[in-house]
Amino acid sequence: MLEKKVGKQTSRMQNPPSINAAASIVGPKEGKGPLADYFDQAVDDEFWGENSWEKAESKFMREVLAKVTAKASLAMDALDFVIAGDLLNQCIAASFGIRESNLPFFGIYGACSTIGEAMQLGAALIEGGFAFNVACLTSSHFCSAEKQFRFPLELGSQRPPTAQWTVTGSGGLILSLEGNGPYITRITTGKIVDMGIKDQNNMGAAMAPAAADTIYAHFEDTGLPPDYYDMVVTGDLGAVGKRILDDLLSSNGIRISRLLNDCGLMIYDMKQDVHSGGSGCGCAAVVFAGFLYDRLRKGKLNRILFVPTGALLSPTSVQQGESIPCIVHAVAIESSRGGNQ
């Protein structure tokens, strides 16, 4: 009998791990957005002194790991595991960013949902008694992502209004067995959902059904009322995807329009020419590590369902005409451990 498993996809923490620190470093565009004050640092050069965007992205991750560990008042070797991922081929931003840290490392890929995957695995490691402290990190970089997934940066092309803007930045969290919260109380692991969308310029529409599926599973598994959370915040559905998610949830009797929010819509001002909103592994990570963590710590938010959304496409799969499989993980974060219900 699994005592922590609730329903088909959800686990409930019996001794919820505490998120003891969060750190975020972002690029120039994010540093001019509405959440600018919440980030630890905004760099004004996309190369950040390196000679390639890939190296710059690794530096983001390396610096965030150092920053978040210091904020948690931990020595680097007090970390039992680092779990990290990014969008680049073979996850080089993570592995090259972490390579000098000399710490046990899990490199993971869940596209833009990676921070959710990292938090779930980190929480499970702590809950299972395998670790005291786990660092969860993800990053993305507009320039390296454009280079890999789209066109060269200087190419004079237009994007459709459904396209999104990859966030430059990295966010990191320290999960610990002991601490004052906020706490990860429940996790719902997503399934791969593919509704046949092939347009990589409409990722919100591709991911929304996966988000609806995971959120539905979360409430179904836990039996919690849909208005249990103060906010249900998705990763990077953007304006189009958020609207679709709302419709899909409503058609399943989950009416939470006023509670829904999306990191991709929070991080930029729509005047910043980002079309449907932000995206990327860094998007949900920096909005959580910057803004949402601050709100939870200060008691402005007490319970949130954090739902990072990922599109599992590759440039090759797109060229071969495949549709876009998507995955969405949900992490419940609460300011008290009580867990209730």
Partner 1 sequence: MQHVMTKDDYRKYVDKVSPDSKTLRNTLRAFFVGGLICVIGQFFMNSFRQMGFDQDVSSSLTSIVMIFLGVSLTAMNIYDDLGRFAGAGSIVPITGFANSVASPAIEYKSEGYVLGIGARMFLIAGPVLVYGISMSIIVGIIHYLIKH
Cα 305 to Cα 247: distance, rounded to the nearest angstrom: 18
Q: Find where tokens 């803007």 sit.
A: 165
| Shortest distance, position 14 Cβ to partner 1, whole Å | 28
Nearer to partner 1, 216 or 288 (CB): 216
| Shortest distance, position 248 Cβ to partner 1, whole Å | 8
- Pairing type for strands 169-176 and 278-279 reads unpaired
Cα 210 to Cα 192: distance, rounded to the nearest angstrom: 7
| Shortest distance, position 22 Cβ to partner 1, whole Å | 31
Nearer to partner 1, 248 or 327 (CB): 248
Nearer to partner 1, 52 or 336 (CB): 52
Contacts of 164 by beta carbon, 8 Å cutoff, 6+ apart: 203, 204, 236, 238, 264, 274, 275, 276, 277, 278, 279
Tokens of 90: 């073979």
**Beta-ladder partners of 10:** 6, 188
| Shortest distance, position 254 Cβ to partner 1, whole Å | 10
Helix, strand or coil, per DSSP, at residue 314:
coil
Nearer to partner 1, 112 or 206 (CB): 206
| Shortest distance, position 156 Cβ to partner 1, whole Å | 2
Phi, psi (5° rounding) for residue 238?
70, 180
Nearer to partner 1, 125 or 211 (CB): 211
CA angle 72, 292, 234 (to 5 degrees): 125
Contacts of 11 by beta carbon, 8 Å cutoff, 6+ apart: 4, 5, 124, 127, 186, 187, 189
Nearer to partner 1, 70 or 192 (CB): 192
Q: Per this entry, what is the length of the chain?
A: 341
Cα 193 to Cα 172: distance, rounded to the nearest angstrom: 27
Nearer to partner 1, 216 or 306 (CB): 216
Helix, strand or coil, per DSSP, at residue 72:
coil
Q: Which residues would be at the binding site for partner 1 (CB under 8 A)?
A: 51-54, 147, 151-162, 195-197, 202, 205, 209, 213, 216, 220, 240, 243-244, 247-248, 251-252, 273
Phi, psi (5° rounding) for residue 103?
-125, 150
Nearer to partner 1, 181 or 209 (CB): 209
Nearer to partner 1, 244 or 286 (CB): 244
| Shortest distance, position 152 Cβ to partner 1, whole Å | 4
Name the residue among 219, 184, 186 with its Cα closest to residue 296: 184
| Shortest distance, position 267 Cβ to partner 1, whole Å | 20
| Shortest distance, position 244 Cβ to partner 1, whole Å | 6
Distances (CA, A) of 240 to 16, 148, 245, 281: 34, 24, 9, 19
| Shortest distance, position 323 Cβ to partner 1, whole Å | 8
